[in-house]
Structure 1
């Protein structure tokens, strides 16, 4: 399993175990793709998904590993561009006995649907987390004339936990924060202020702000304005019944009586357990926020309504289409995926990898995308010799430009991971 962030590590590791055919033992080798969002040891421990081995490497190093070592199945738990690069890179290896390739999405797919899907096309299995998603995925592939047989309906692999039962004397509200939703400082401060005001309005209620990462750590998305720092600036400080918490989301949900979020995948975990769940409308119901995905869910509510005691009730038909399996059918959600994997392993003579994006269908897009992962347009790793050949073909100006861009990307990653957190600590938000 190759992953590039903490959330994708969690999805990939748990998916690998869920899709293993019955009766087969699994030895899960985990690899972290080195980059901006490479998780820390603490983040990996927090997500609660383990592998039998763990190594960090670049994409080209991973391809060399596949040339040297044999694997039955490779789960690509990566951003779309990285999936596409690995598909072309693995294809270029020309392995006589290649592994089956599986990919999918970490959570709610509310933006860049066609872009993300077409970048994943070419894998043997593209997992959909619900019946709703499976239909959308097939429509995109068929709409561009690409095969849709790879789309396989499953579910999020981390749903689970005990069904919600109110506990005498317990009244806990949890706000599930997201790194980049909402994006602006003003919107994030607004949500934090309303959460704190909710705690003050209900002094006997425990109000928790569930955070994904600590200041300085990176996740799938860059968090420009951490709630931890914003909380330090709130006038009057924080009430005694308000706390910032970290840890595994499932463990937090064990003691939750109301889950509040803008559009976090935690909402699906909560709904799966039948915990009252609120999707905030305070900032509008808008595509950039992702809360439009929950139209029809029965969960949309504002802070004013929650302050007044409203508890949303999820629509069961909507929940079923979204794969939260609140009716208890979750145990069979991966049956189809396991059967598909078993068939691929039994066939062994797997067909060539045929992504939709090729030098013919996307000549102005694919080469640049592959170059970001140090691959040539034909999928082979870029080497000193073919860099020199490219220089002769395209001129010195392009070589200089590409070198500067590579240096800039490195500087950006360093700034995001190292410099920005220091500036935040020193400056005033």
Structure 2
């Protein structure tokens, strides 16, 4: 297996992790970006860094997605089983895994099944989040509970994990608050040039066609109200790219249909430019509930959270209650001021990342393993993954997939009547014409 090469000038001879090898693992583009960003904190402390992408059933990351994540070199894209069996993984002192819940369970199931008895050591496994946690909090936390160190964005998230862990007997001493480690910390300079409103799209938030058409119509109206400003729609992914959640109603497809009838304002465009580069010149950042909104707030970019569909957990807008940034699309203008509540940003967003605690605790584990001269014991899968009886039963029924992705072996059969009913409802959808 090949591995990525460290950038020129990136290897340091001094630092707490001098001579140590770090492996950064991620599934999707933002996940790889975050894993690499954390890995570079270790690199600053003298470690050498390798990056790999964990393959999924939906495909592999494109070069554009990797570049957007700050990874320009060629990296291996392999399964969790291949990673755990590889020297790339086993020779690493630290493995940083920024992966979805399914891949986390795959990783820890593969580790539990691996024969590490002949190894002098094993990687200390760190798990972190690529963004704000909007849904499946406890399910996600428990999927990652076997990690040696489990990073949380906020004290509230850590408290929820500890409460659930206490209920069922999970050792919660691996948890620590780090904030969103993938976020940049430097404030940005005031943008120059024409005003720019950037809407940061999410693939399935909102999920309904009507809701996404409404957003498109309101952004069209905004562009027409302010012809001297630019309005950009930052797409989360291209149609053929691998993502955690693929868009059911891709905005480019909806726009092609809409603008064929109503025309597209010249100052309204779509872009795949990296979010970090867009924020440098954005006058107003807009999103329903993207992590980019937190990044924008932290960098001092005026930000608004779309309130047109109300406040709900399903949309992730509930996360931003208290920020002071919720607003309807019709009220937007390029010159709106920054209004984010500073206390909310500091306490509830994870926008102030702090890697020091992670580095200190990780170093203690690495050095403890050195003294042991043998692999540290793995943290148990039980009871985070359920009872011992359940785990044994599930593995006996379908192997690891029965634990990490049971839906793949229990797909319900959809009758022709259901398909016909859906087709009838789709035929009733009315054409859409953008506002303005």
Report the TM-score, using the length of structure 1 for normalisation.
0.80
Q: Structure 1 residues 179, 303: CA separation in 2 closer, same or farther (over 3 Å shift)?
A: same
CA RMSD after TM alignment = 3.1
CA distance in 2, matches of 1:161, 1:4: 24
Shift in CA distance, 166/99, structure 1 to aligned 2, threshold 3 Å: closer
Corresponding residue pairs, total: 379
Paired with 1:367 and 1:123, the residues of 2 have a C-alpha distance of 23
Q: Name 1:2's counterpart in structure 2.
A: 25
Could you say if the C-alpha distance between residues 21 and 186 of structure 1 is closer, same or farther in structure 2, counting changes exceeding 3 Å?
A: same
Unaligned 5+ residue runs, structure 1? 380-401, 410-427
**Corresponding position: 1:324 with 2:351:** yes
Q: Deviations over 1:69-113 (max 9, x none)?
A: 422111222111221221122122241422101112111111111
**Secondary structure in 2 matching 1:251:** helix
Counterparts of 1:175-214 in structure 2, within 5 Å, are 175-214=199-238
CA distance in 2, matches of 1:92, 1:67: 18
1:375 is matched with 400
Aligned partner of 2:301 in structure 1 is: 275
Tell me which residue corresponds to 1:31.
53
User: Structure 2 CA distance, aligned partners of 1:285 and 1:61?
Assistant: 42
1:199-246 deviation per Cα after TM superposition (whole angstroms, max 9, x unaligned): 101111111101121122231112111111111112322111111111
Q: Summarize the Cα distance change of 1:160–1:27 in structure 2 as closer, same or farther, 3 Å threshold.
A: closer
- How many Å separate the matches in 2 of 1:210 and 1:68? 35
C-alpha distance after superposition, 1:310-363 (max 9, x if no partner):
5450000110012223xxxx5xx1000111111111111423321344786164
* Residue 88 (str. 1) matches residue 114 (str. 2): no
d(CA) in 1 for partners of 2:185, 2:384: 43
Q: Which residue of 2 aligns with 1:305?
A: 331
The question of 1:48 aligning with 2:75 is answered no
1:347 has 2:368 as partner: yes
Name the CA distance, whole Å, in 1 between partners of 2:147 and 2:89: 21
Question: For 1:2 and 1:236, how far apart are their aligned partners in 2?
Answer: 45
After TM superposition, the structure 1 = structure 2 runs for residues 19-418 of structure 1, keeping only pairs within 5 Å, are: 20=42, 23-49=45-71, 54-65=75-86, 69-96=90-117, 97-160=121-184, 163-167=187-191, 169-234=193-258, 235-307=261-333, 310-311=336-337, 313-321=339-347, 322-325=349-352, 330=353, 333-348=354-369, 349=372, 350-357=376-383, 361=387, 363-364=389-390, 368=394, 375=400
Per-residue CA deviations over 1:115-151 (Å, capped at 9, x if unaligned) read 1111111100111123343333333323433121111
Structure 2 match to 1:16: 39
- The whole-number CA distance in structure 1 between the counterparts of 2:53 and 2:250 is 28
SS at 2:86 equivalent: helix
How many angstroms does 1:8 deviate by?
1.3
Deviation at 1:3, TM superposition (A): 2.2
Q: Does the residue aligned with 1:75 lie in a helix, a strand or coil?
A: strand
CA distance in 2, matches of 1:238, 1:76: 42
Compared CA separation, residues 299 and 370, structure 1 to 2 (3 A): farther
Contact between 1:161 and 1:250, CA under 8 Å: does it hold in 2? Answer: no
- The Cα offsets for residues 353-395 of structure 1, whole Å up to 9 and x where unpaired, read as 21344786164468658988x638899xxxxxxxxxxxxxxxx
Indicate if the aligned counterparts of 1:13 and 1:30 stay in contact, CA closer than 8 A: no
| More helix, by proportion | 1
**Structure 2 residue aligned with 1:413:** none
Alpha-carbon separation, structure 2, partners of 1:107 and 1:203: 34
Structure 1 residues 277, 95: closer, same or farther in 2, change over 3 A? same
Change (3 A) 1:21 1:353: farther
Query: Contact between 1:367 and 1:377, CA under 8 Å: does it hold in 2?
Result: no
TM-score, normalized by length of structure 2? 0.78
User: What is residue 390 of structure 1 aligned with on the other side?
Assistant: none
- Do 1:67 and 1:93's aligned partners in 2 also have CA atoms closer than 8 Å? no
